[in-house]
Structure 1
Amino acid sequence: MRRFARTLVTAALAATVAGGTAGWASADTQTAVTGPPPGTAAWRADTVSGQPLPDPARATPREVARFFAGLDEGRARSLVRSHPLVAGNLDGAPLPLRYEANRLAVLASGEDRFASLGAPGRQILAFDPRGRGTVAEVFGDLERAAHVSVIVPGSDNDATTYDRPRAPHTGPAGMARALRAASSDSTAVIAWTGYTTPVGVGLDAAQGRLAQAGAVRLARLTQGLNAVGAPDPVLFCHSYGSVVCGLAARDTDATDIVAFGSPGMRADTAAGLHTTARVWAARGPSDWISDVPNVEFAGLGHGADPTSAAFGARPVPAADVAGHTGYLTPGTQSLKAFAAIATGESR
């Protein structure tokens, strides 16, 4: 009987996705951006003093960090000028060099849709123009931060929408700004739109394919932070981004993982994430995500509700959160709790 009921719920999920009810809508299938960035072939063909450059597809972030530690400033900047797209996306490379490389890469793209990312003073940690584009931006001083948080967003986020005007405190950049404003000055926040997100809330959002590709890239990001001496991060994972975090959990050194507005993390319990990080979960009373069945069957759905007692995550108060994107609105219980988690004050 229980199995029959589960099948019925799964069928309801499929109908929900296909029919556009309960906040779901059909959408185009997306092709995940994977592998090293454009320009990698030229990078591999180059050398420094006759020595090969670290392969973006194979070198670990620690190997990249060791390589740059052996370069003088002139040679390092020469690589940035010659190969901005590769240098800007090379986890383990010095942060100032990545910021400069990505500024050059944005300007070299010649595309108006990315132009604002190249403005002076912006700290673009990663930029890839392929497809809809991916981008990561740092708010605060990542080189000297005592605490680091990463915002992992859900559907409809990419480099083309990153700077689009939207409601304050929503979207990856808005959430990052709000979290940093609520935290101490010693906290740096990364708005990480570093994977191909679903468009709309259709089959891509109900499946784990894009999340699996994103999880590889998120794990690499955290390894890169470790390689440059940054503190172990806190991951704040919104909506479909919590699926990415769930799949990446075992391969990161995050101290805390916070899922909010989550459809599931592809695990039955917090222990099933196989991480030493503290796991937290929040869901507001008017968040439409509560209408999505918490199942995983035949590739559809993302499993148990992270806010359920059975899942075992630590609860984050969210009774005053409005809608699906209001979790970092100033004055909310959730933002206050997020800030405490980001600064290590919540145990």
Structure 2
Amino acid sequence: MLGRLRRGTAVAGLVLAAVLGVGSWTSADAQTPLTGPPPGSAEWVADTALGVRLPDPTNASPAEVAAFFDALAPDQQRQLAFRHPQVLGNLDGAPVPLRYLANSLALAQERAREQARATDASLLPEEREQAARKAARYAELTGRQLLVFDPRGRGQLAEVFGDLAHAARTAVLVPGSDVDLASSDRLAAMAKELRAAAKDQVAVVAWVGYTTPVGVGLDAAREELARAGAPRLERLVAGLAPLTGPATLFCHSYGSVVCGQSAPDPARVSGLVVFASPGLGLERADELKVPVWAVARNPEDWISNVPHVSVFGLGHGADPTSPGFHARLLPSTGSHGHSDYFAPGSASLAAFAALAATGSPTTA
């Protein structure tokens, strides 16, 4: 018993050392996950102007939300968007065009608020500078198709590329560490590459809808942020599935832990594609009810240095590219480093595009 304990402690130490020692990626910035309903939910629930009870964002399912909006006239739907943009813009199950409208209104409100703060002499200089940066970022996002917009904390959003209602298939990109509202264009660039490689047949959602780890520290070695993010991902795909059919999830790095924890439903998710993955928090792919594809790591991806174990709450389990995990393997030739698996001309992007468009990693 003592020997096993010592070996377990030694392995935990190796995991921690590896996770905390990956060069410039190291960070000790612990994150508190953003959970609960969107801002303004109390006012939404108290609103009786339409003479009906509005669905509670805390516990109403996407199906219940969809049924509620189906019973409203278009002008009633728009009234709610203008009165409660931050709630409606983030309400899974609400009509997609209505969410785009609501989020454009919420974005404009937040931009005006931050612009006012940027010139408020009562604030500290660093507070004014931060407000100016936020206002500039909100200006960059203006006019985009936003399915999620939540400015709290580091901020969350989901941006849609293509037409969810008419595309043949849908893909959802789930990011790893260091992606938030300010840096979401990195994920958006992957979405654009995937859509272009699939010859615009696929609608792509760049989903920054959970609190990601900052750097590669304890948050990245543990599953707490993934467990908090997984239900948010489940609600997203549950809200989309009646419109789009089952989506393919493309899960990068720590995002693969989120995908693994989300217990994907085959009626809503056609499969998972994991790349640069530290593990899914699972020992075998068949623990999930949907197909799992894992991309072979390119030689320059530092994730290869992270041990694939789970000890004392550290690590994310088996290597999804190992034979024992039983995932379906995809090539990575032509990609470089940890975040370049969508590189134009790479074998990984070609397989991603084929999977997104047809459900098969080859076009033959």
Q: Which residue of 2 aligns with 1:166?
A: none
Q: Distance in 2 between matches of 1:331 and 1:313?
A: 24
- TM-score scaled to structure 2, two decimals? 0.88
- The answer to whether 1:311 aligns with 2:325 is yes
User: How many Å separate the matches in 2 of 1:9 and 1:320?
Assistant: 33
5+ unaligned residues in a row in structure 1: which ranges?
A: 164-170
Superposed displacement of residue 230, structure 1:
1.3
Distance in 1, matches of 2:309 and 2:168, equals 38
**Identical-pair percentage:** 53
Counterpart pick for 2:178 among 149, 152, 156: 156
Name the CA distance, whole Å, in 1 between partners of 2:59 and 2:331.
42
The reply to whether residue 341 of structure 1 matches residue 343 of structure 2 is: no
Distance change >3 Å, CA 248–CA 117, structure 1 → 2: farther
1:115 matched to which residue of 2? Answer: 138
More helix by share: 2
- SS at 1:249's partner residue? coil
Tell me how far apart the structure 2 counterparts of residues 133 and 46 of structure 1 sit (CA, whole Å): 26
1:172 corresponds to which of 187, 201, 223: 187
Question: Is the partner of 2:244 in helix, strand or coil?
Answer: coil
Match of 1:55? Answer: 56
* SS state at 1:52 partner: coil
Distance 1:236 1:326 in 2: 14
Once residues 224 and 280 of structure 1 are traced to their aligned partners in structure 2, the CA distance between those partners, rounded to angstroms, is: 24
Which residue of structure 2 lines up, in the alignment, with residue 133 of structure 1?
Answer: 155
Query: 2:196 corresponds to which letter in structure 1?
Result: A
- Contact 1:134 / 1:193 at 8 angstroms: preserved in 2? yes
Shift >4 Å, 4+ stretches: 1-7
Deviation (angstroms), 1:58: 1.0
Find the structure with the greater CA-based Rg.
2
Q: 1:104 to 1:118 in 2, by over 3 A?
A: farther
**1:323 partnered with 2:337:** yes
Alpha carbons of structure 1 residues 48 and 232: separation in structure 2 relative to 1, 3 Å? farther
- 1:310-343 per-position Cα deviation (integer Å, ceiling 9, x unaligned): 1000000013220001100100000000011101
Matching of residue 147 in structure 1 with residue 169 in structure 2: yes
Q: Which amino acid aligns with 2:149?
A: F
Deviation for aligned residue 1:48: 4.8
Q: 1:279 aligns with which of 289, 292, 299?
A: 292
Instruction: Give the Cα–Cα distance (whole angstroms) in 2 for the partners of residues 28 and 251 of structure 1.
Output: 33
Aligned in 2, Cα 1:113/1:159: closer, same or farther, shift over 3 Å?
Answer: farther
1:162-193 deviations in Å (ceiling 9; x for gaps): 24xxxxxxx21111010000013231000000
Q: Is the 8 A contact 1:264 1:305 kept in 2?
A: yes
CA apart distance, 1:344: 1.9
Q: Output the CA distance in 1 between the equivalents of 2:217 and 2:309.
A: 16
Question: Where does residue 167 of structure 1 map in the other structure?
Answer: none
Q: Which deviations, in whole Å up to 9, do the C-alpha atoms of 1:196-217 show, x marking residues without a partner?
A: 0001110000000000011010
Shift of 1:16: 2.7
Match of 1:17 in 2: 19
